[in-house]
Amino acid sequence: MWTTKKKILYILYRLTAAWLPISQRSLIAKKLRVFWARTIVRKCGKDVNIEKNAVFGPLLEIGNRSGVGISCEIYGAVSIGENVMMGPEVVVYTSSHRYDRTDIPMGEQGFDDMRPVCIGNDVWIGRRAMIMPGVKIGNGCIIGAAAVVTKDIPDYGVAVGVPARVIKSRLDNAVNVKSETDAP
């Protein structure tokens, strides 16, 4: 969780590295953001990319060769696998406002318990997608731009829309590449 040290490090990140140029324009900016992220998050793999103005917390786990896009917001316990591509402005929530009582305003009811989000390996998440609390996105999935993911997505599913629904499986279009040794 947030220790005093992590809070200070996060404030320093937000005041400095978060505002550096995007990674395509500056390798130094990319390295500085990853340096700061390693001091804040629970787990940070190799060759990770944290883009400009990304928001995240100490419960984030991110695997090798994965990226957090420009201006993304990742709140709470989120596990991101390896080789995950995340477009700009993606938002990942792990809790929501309570609304079960009608005798007091919703803004005064607090929050639900945190429900972790798990994003598998080799996933592509399009621009402005929203991933809601407790969702598991399987390996090899594609989440369309502006989709709102409210339910689990099975491995290799392609999900689009509001709310997101699986429209096909990537396995249906899989290309089997034969090696030269497989030739007759």
Give the mean pLDDT of 133-158: 98
Greater confidence (16 vs 69) lies with: 69
Let me know if residue 182 belongs to a domain: no
Look at the block and give the residue holding tokens 């419960």: 59
- Our answer to whether residue 97 is catalytic in this structure is yes
CA distance 38 to 34: 6
* Verdict on whether the full-model pTM lies above 0.75: yes
Let me know if residue 92 belongs to a domain: yes
| Domains identified in the chain, total number | 1
Let me know if residue 184 belongs to a domain: no
pLDDT at position 180 over 60: no
77: domain CATH number is: 2.160.10.10
Phi first, then psi: what are they for 106, rounded to 5°?
-55, -35
Q: Which domain holds residue 75?
A: 4-97+105-177
Q: Which of 97, 101, 151, 168 is catalytic?
A: 97
pLDDT confidence bin for 53, thresholds 50/70/90: very high
